[in-house]
A and B are shown apart, each in its own frame.
Chain A
Amino acid sequence: MVDKELLRVEQLKLYFRTTQGVVQAVDGVDFNLDYNRAVVIVGESGCGKTSLARAILRLLPRNVDTYSGHIYLDGNDVMAYDDEEFRQNVRWIKMSLVPQAAMNALNPVMRVGDQVAEPAMIHLGVKADEAMSMARKMFQNVGVAADFLFRYPFELSGGMRQRAALAMALVTSPILIVLDEPTSALDLLTQANIMNVLKRIKHEFETSYILITHDVATSSELADEVAVMYAGQIVEVGDTPRFFPNPLHPYSKKLMNSVPRLHGDKEPEFIIGQPPSLISPPTGCRFAARCPSRFEKCDEDPPTFTLDGRKVKCWLYA
């Protein structure tokens, strides 16, 4: 199944209405993902990472202004589905979500096992006791003892709650899991543990991941590809062996230089300035105002250039 395209996102847009104007949270995003691969979407807070996750899973708030583009999953354009079709055929069947701060996303008054079993009952239509045995199996897969099925979320530690949320996303055996900051609130060792679990699941079940995070260092534990997001747009996509040592876009370079390292003498740098407002983003390149290598061309919106299979949205590579 390797090298077969699983997901292709084309010109995806998600705008929100607010009292100040229309926020262009996701503005023309393109990327694709093959079977059993993991793409990590990195960017600063407010760059539209979470909105992108919500747009892919069509979990939209009420103030949506524009929602357009194409999402091909397994060759089918799921954007053409109506909401009920999408719910029945895609969400949790084909792809599921581990939400941000998943450990606090559990229902406090429901036993963990019931919560994990619920998606199986709703989306796969299995009986309660069968769903429960599926939940039990998933608990084993993510490394939580089965007797925790009958406990309430407050009785579990943060790491275990995170694993339970992961089990909930896995219980229907989707082919794609969207992970929104899966480890950001966890301790170091727990974080490493969860990453191990995710890796093992990717290996055993041939799952694909979209990992959304601002933590570049931890994301490297899972990622095959990196997509860098800035001000609602993806500015660079590349495979990790080439991206980590040598990012192309000036923003990616700055971002990689801001990562503190355990070893080596390189001092981390920071990016001067603020990301632009998404209500009235600049017409040209959105990073131009903070870019050290800007030139006249940057007043125009750069197209995406392809360099040896890497994509970068910057005039430097024209």
Chain B
Amino acid sequence: MTEGNQIITQDVNVLNEPGKNGALMSIKDLKVYFELRRFGFGHAGYVRAVDDVTFDVKHGEAIAVVGESGCGKSSLMKTILGLYRPTEGKVVFEGKDLGKMDARVIKWYRTQVGYVQQDPYGALPPFMNVQKILSEPLIIGGVRDKVQRDERINKVMTDVKMTPVSDFINKFPHMLSGGQQQRMVIARAMIMEPKFLVADEPVSMLDASVRVEILKLLRNLQERYHFSVIYITHDLSTVRYFSERVFVMYAGKIIEKARIADLLRNPLHPYADALLAATSEPDAKNATTYKDVPPGEPPSLVNPPSGCRFHPRCPKIIKGLCEVQEPPDFNPEPEHTVLCWLYK
């Protein structure tokens, strides 16, 4: 479009090429399929939970992955955590391919990635006190010295603002409030000083007033310790306070990648547009209008629709193209890619 556009477009190419631009993790053509079996042994197809996903995570960057339940965002996350093996494609962390790691390297890898679970109460073992919950990763991670362990526990508890530490250290999870439990989960994820944090809907179970507090805490920690974060959520309104880039996922594919401000200003994919339109803001006028919601529900990942996976629900469908051919990545704006034929 403009000259300025072209200059930055080159940056996008660098950005999209795994391994360059100081990427901490690069994911290339990742597919995660789960085999369905009939009567325990007959093959009955695959659930294509993640299908051809490519992106890079830079050092110290926060990325939000937005999508509805069943779109594959949890499978993507679990593959990144090394809990699922990629069916095809690569997940490369600091030059090491996750699919080829042996048990020892996996153990090292797990000290490098932290995991913040969705439901803090479910994620904390009810029969362990705070001291024990935080010691265990250290013991497994090879910190043998008790004094050193206590020092690190003290530090991480101060980091998540659970002070004075002595008030909390002997408490069990049920004695903590929801916000405090979530701080504990963050402390546990951070105690090995990971380079990478995966946060799976870290605030969706919390009260509205505590949500912002936890997100700000995570953001501050990230700025202080420069780790990268993947923040998985379905709530678009919290994304802008937390991340630089946002990926929109639909039916196993990342359909739009953009800087958060660009997505909010100008969502390109009709699905991203619908998500934004469906997000409410407190305004009395809302009660007098109906929301424009695409019909139907997300497709089954066993037999996804041909062509573009959103075409059966899309208001802007181009007949004869969208249902036939899968759209490639288009790049109509700098650092803004979209999987949609509208932008060819």
Q: Residues of A at under 8 Å CB distance from B?
A: 38, 44-45, 157-159, 187-193, 195-196, 199-200, 214-224, 239-241, 243-244, 254-256, 258-263, 267-271, 274
Once the chains bind, are B278 and A263 in contact (CB under 8 Å)?
A: no
A-B contact pairs, 22 of them (CB 8 A): A45-B178, A157-B297, A188-B234, A188-B236, A188-B278, A189-B68, A191-B278, A192-B277, A192-B280, A192-B293, A196-B291, A217-B282, A218-B280, A220-B282, A220-B286, A256-B282, A259-B237, A268-B212, A268-B241, A270-B209, A270-B211, A274-B177
Residues in A neighbouring B264, C-beta threshold 8 A: 262-263
Closest A residue by C-beta to B290: A196
Chain B 208-228: CB-based contact to A (< 8 A → 1; otherwise 0): 111111001000000000000
Given the interface pairs A158-B69, A220-B284, A271-B209, the reply to whether A195 lies near B291 with Cβ below 8 Å is: yes
Residues in B neighbouring A218, C-beta threshold 8 A: 280
Once the chains bind, are B278 and A192 in contact (CB under 8 Å)?
A: yes
Beyond A217-B281, A260-B212, 5 additional contacts (C-beta under 8 Å) are A189-B275, A193-B293, A219-B282, A244-B283, A263-B264
Once the chains bind, are B287 and A223 in contact (CB under 8 Å)?
A: yes
The CA-CA distance from A214 to B206 in the complex, in Å, is 10
The CA-CA distance from A190 to B290 in the complex, in Å, is 13
The CA-CA distance from A34 to B234 in the complex, in Å, is 35
Given the interface pairs A187-B69, A187-B234, the reply to whether A255 lies near B208 with Cβ below 8 Å is: yes
Once the chains bind, are B297 and A221 in contact (CB under 8 Å)?
A: no
Chain B 165-198: CB-based contact to A (< 8 A → 1; otherwise 0): 0000000000001100000000000000000000
Given the interface pairs A45-B178, A158-B69, A192-B293, the reply to whether A217 lies near B280 with Cβ below 8 Å is: yes
Given the interface pairs A188-B278, A192-B293, A261-B237, the reply to whether A240 lies near B212 with Cβ below 8 Å is: no
Given the interface pairs A44-B209, A270-B210, the reply to whether A261 lies near B281 with Cβ below 8 Å is: yes
Given the interface pairs A158-B69, A258-B209, the reply to whether A189 lies near B241 with Cβ below 8 Å is: no
10 pairs of A and B residues whose beta carbons are closest in the complex: A240-B284, A192-B278, A270-B213, A187-B68, A241-B284, A260-B237, A268-B212, A192-B291, A217-B280, A271-B209
Once the chains bind, are B287 and A38 in contact (CB under 8 Å)?
A: yes
